[in-house]
Structure 1
Amino acid sequence: MSGQQKSDYQLNRKPRSEFATRTEYLDHELQSMSPRRWKPNLPIRDYRFEFEDFVPAMAATIGKIVMVAAIVGAFAGQLGLSDAFVIENVRYEMLIAAVLFVILVSGFFNPKSNLAGTHGPLIPLVPLIVAAGGHPMALGLMIGLLGFLLGIFKGGSLLARLTSNGVAGGLLLYLGFIGISSQIKSLFGWAESFDMGYLAFVVIMATIIMYAYLEHIQMRWIAIPLGATLAAVLSFAMGAPFEFTTAPGIPQMNPMYWWGAETGWQLGLPEFHHFVAVAPFAVLAVAMWSPDFVGHRAFQQLNYPPRTEKVMMDIDDTMISASARQITGSLLGGGNIASSWGTYIVPAAIARRPIPAGAVLTGLLCIVAALLGYPMDLAVWQPVLSVALLVGVYVPLLEAGMQMTREGKTTQSAAIVIFSSALVNPVFGWSLTMLLDNLGLIGCKERGKDLGHTGRWIVPGIMLLVLCVIMAGIGMFPGVPPLW
């Protein structure tokens, strides 16, 4: 192959043998890449596979099984559908995501777009959505349409620019602490259900020691597979109950089955009133994307070396691909609600790996898990699940939040966003603190002067007002009854 035919990546990269350490080699790989947006990106020509790519792929697969099961299970519980339905729909969703979007979009056509994952913060709202007369397809299509418009008109990157380090860092701290508390509580609840509460203590203590040692030897990137294995071995050894129940197979692939009146969701196709019912929830779901996406990109910025802007996730492109994945999945019969894939991008950033190679491996692992069935049982086993999320997502979120809030007056904004998030939810805390921060009432007083009237109060003010009206309408303010 002549020099003119080689890609920028092939011309710029150097083999591992030319670097003194593995870290230097991985940093150079990030600096050498030049991803093509919405054009073919091929292995070897534009990126390479490394052992480190398997870590975020494994974490993402575990997270995918868990989060989609939580979303579909929340709908199924309200609609009176069986556990068998949940398992089949989760397997179907994993195949849709893996083949059509994880591998094709993030792996080949746009490596600057993070994988389209699951919208975890919306899970508690599912009972309200169903009670309001919502329909899963109507909700998915509305979210996809609104997210696509936000991405096309660069609304996501605009909101990212208006979010200071203090606000983003405070969000990471809040989400990290809440996640850690939730997983510890879940693990103790699981162990106490069969009178072995001490098992949870042993697993968590072992995880803390393991994570601290990995930090010491600078190998934190293997925390997920090592932690999940440690949790499983300890739990088995101490007599915790476990059995494989999901047999190999292929889920129902006919969309008309899923949207039949007597089959699948047993709801038929949505009508106009269904779209009206889900509209406020769809607006809120897309608004929740921005702080989530900002945090994911910030995590890359903190862990990647200098001169790697080309390989960092593009917020608008991620919104477009997540929207396309949402619309496609909903039309085909899936129950997932899409967002940026946190259980992938966080460990990938820690491992100093770009998006595409791990995306391809994630897609392959999701296909294997969906078809075999048995890996799904192990991934959702409580000790494996909790430890993987603790060391792979929530503790790193805390660390990143602390790094972002250690300079200047960022701690003021971080404190307010944590305070207001605890009062209502993270989307309220983000929108309120962004307005206060940009007005110069808290944080750096000079920062707001460079934003102009649009960035200082017009966009943040409109965003806060719209979100408050929606949240008040559906009863999300503590102690305040719903307005409609």
Structure 2
Amino acid sequence: MKKDAGNSYREKRKKSSEFEKREDYLEHELLIMKFRRWKIHLPFRDFHVEFEDLVPALAATIGKVVMVTAMVAAFAAQFGLSSEFIAENVRYELLIAGGIFVIIFSAILNPRANLAGTHGPMIPLIPIIAAAGGHPLALGILIGVFGLLLSITKGGSKLMALTGVGVRGGLLIYLGAVGLISQITKFESWASSVNASTVSFVVIGITILIYAYLARIKKRWLAIPLCSAIAGIVAYAMGVNFEFTTAPGLPHLNPFWWWGENTGWQLGWPDLGHFIAVIPFAILAVAMWSPDYLGHRVFQELNYPKKAKDVLMDVDDTMTVASVRQIVGSTLGGGNIASSWGTYMIPAAIAKRPIPGGAVLTAILCVLASVFGYPMDLAMWEPVLRIALIVGVFLPLLEAGMQMVKEHNDSLSAGTCIFACAFVNPVFGWALTMLLDNLGLIGDHKRAKSLTLKERLIIPGVMFLVCVVSLALAGQLPGIPGIF
């Protein structure tokens, strides 16, 4: 029986030439894969690497370089560190966390755990964390500990199950719309700063046409590499200057160098006061995980066959991987704050690909980008960076949210969620609307009546209080000064 179970994928697998359409082959692959939690999975025995896996791998690598650079640069600005430190730390993250960690956890040990990416919403809080006396290592360790507690208690999957369709849709619409506007604004500002205002208009115009065509022929999974490449080519052809500056090499691999008094972060090792200072921020970071992870799994549910349950991202296992990666990465000297890897999961789900195949390619590309250096320059160039985020993250988020809001009751929940998100931030909006929706004050009243008291009030109420208190302590509630 064990032998048959181990060989079931290979026995059921068919060649792509046996199917009329490529999409049918990809869906068949999803249906016959049976991923097991914390067991050894091997390429060709339990999954294959397909051409479609290259697209999310490219998108993930671009997104990794972009997001980690933004994260580390925010820390560096607060601690007076140089641009050389930023490049060195990004390289370190790509090599250790983006390469080795991804292969071990998301490709081999647990293909239902999404890759551990970067927690973008935490970037604006970094100046506040530094001003409060926070230490990057203390913050990373506490985020990992709190994340492990949430994953062990299955809190992530429970919160996902208690988030209604309308709340999910509203959250995705808000995140997609705000992110889309933000990226366009930043692209236009950059174009103006280099005296090339026309470039942003032309590049975005071409991107709209290409993206619409790809959607029409059902090839949206090609959007990130194709649109990013065309954006870079068009911008360069219109006279925008680009040059390679990051030479090949390896980063420092000694944690004691990174956490030295006069080397690396130049902060030394954290003390008890550093840990106390970052407690509210660590709680807030983990509280933000649930809506983030929820949004990523939704893409699988929308694009995979309904019966492909054994390849869907497991929220709790993803939290476990992100938590372990956070503790390990921070201890080694990395400046990244981890979350579910959106620039990987979204295009992978659209391409109808499971996690492990693309994870292998992502790890390889991250290591190559780290060692060679020059790919980092390409990924960080404004036309490539902005278009990759627009077509790879924010447009799909917006579209997925709109697809989910079909019923009148769901539209009421979605509207309330968008309003609450705009009032404070997505964490507050999600927690408040989930509570109101489960109480039956908005949304589907029949659904609310079917819930137990624990599901209707206690869990959503506790989550709302945790979010509000954490936001208040961090000074993120409008008109209320932060304690830290």
TM-score in terms of structure 1 length = 0.98
Q: State the match for 1:42 in structure 2.
A: 42
Quick one: which amino acid aligns to residue 400 of structure 1?
A
Cα shift readout 1:80-115 (whole Å, capped 9, x = no counterpart): 000000100010011111343211110111000000
Distance across 2 between alignment mates of 1:243 and 1:131: 35
Following superposition, the deviation at residue 190 of structure 1 comes to 1.0
List per-residue Cα deviations over 1:223-255 (Å, max 9, x = no partner): 111101110110010001111000000000000
Q: Could you tell me which amino acid in structure 2 is paired with residue 107 of structure 1?
A: A
Pair 1:152 & 2:152 matched? yes
Aligned-residue offset at 1:482: 2.2
- Per the alignment, residue 311 of structure 1 pairs with 311
Change in Cα spacing, 1:258 to 1:6, as seen in structure 2 (3 Å) is closer
Q: Letter of the 2:383 partner, please give it.
A: P
The letter for the 2-side match of 1:475 is G
Deviates more, 1:320-329 or 1:98-107: 98-107
Say which is worse superposed, 449-458 or 280-289, in terms of deviation: 449-458
Counterpart for residue 272 of structure 1: 272
* Partner SS, residue 286 of structure 2: helix
The amino acid that maps onto 1:137 is L
Cα distance between partner residues in 2 of 1:231 and 1:5: 47
Deviations 1:13-50 (A, max 9, x none): 21112110000000000011001211110111100011
How much does 1:474 deviate?
2.1
Percent of aligned pairs sharing the same letter = 60
Q: Per-residue deviation at 1:4? A: 3.8
| Gapped regions of structure 2 (runs ≥ 5) | none
Is structure 2 residue 94 aligned with structure 1 residue 89? no
The answer to whether structure 1 residue 230 and structure 2 residue 236 are counterparts is: no
Counterpart in the other structure of 1:249: 249
Which residue pairs with 1:376 in the alignment? 376
Conserved? CA contact 1:408–1:444, under 8 Å: no
Residue in 2 aligned with 1:55? Answer: 55
Q: Give 1:67 deviation, angstroms.
A: 0.5
In 2, Cα distance between equivalents of 1:198 and 1:44: 48
The list of structure 1 runs, each at least 4 consecutive aligned residues, that deviate by more than 6 angstroms after superposition, is none
Aligned to 1:361: 361
Which residue of 1 is the match for residue 258 of structure 2? 258
For residues 451 and 322 of structure 1, the distance between their equivalents in structure 2, rounded to whole angstroms, comes to: 30
CA distance in 2, matches of 1:157, 1:240: 47
Q: What is the total number of aligned residue pairs between the two structures?
A: 483
One-letter code of the match for 2:150?
A: L
* 1:119 Cα deviation after fit: 0.3
Q: Report the secondary structure of 2:445's partner residue.
A: coil
Q: Is the 8 A contact 1:165 1:404 kept in 2?
A: yes
TM-score under structure 2 normalisation?
0.98
Match of 2:324 in 1: 324
1:57–1:362: 8 Å Cα contact kept in structure 2?
yes
Equivalent position of 2:480 in the other structure: 480
Once the two structures are overlaid, the 10-residue window that deviates more, 376-385 or 466-475, is 466-475
* 1:117 maps to 2:117: yes
Say if 2:78 and 2:130, in contact at 8 Å, map to a contact too: yes
Which residue matches 2:220?
A: 220
The amino acid that maps onto 1:148 is: L
SS of match in other structure, 1:200: helix
Give me the whole-angstrom Cα distance separating, in 2, the residues matched to 1:3 and 1:76.
Answer: 53
2:138 maps to amino acid? A
Aligned to 2:128: 128
Q: Residue in 2 aligned with 1:75?
A: 75
The residue that corresponds to 2:420 in the other structure is: 420
> What is the CA–CA distance in structure 2 between the aligned matches of 1:298 and 1:422, rounded to whole Å?
22
Q: Tell me, in whole angstroms, the C-alpha distance in 1 between the residues paired with 2:141 and 2:15.
A: 46
Partner of 1:434: 434
* Amino acid in the other structure paired with 1:349: A
Match of 2:18 in 1: 18
Question: Which runs of structure 2 are paired with 1:170-209 in the superposition (5 Å)?
Answer: 170-209=170-209
Aligned partner letter, 2:90: V
Q: 1:380 to 1:441 in 2, by over 3 A?
A: same
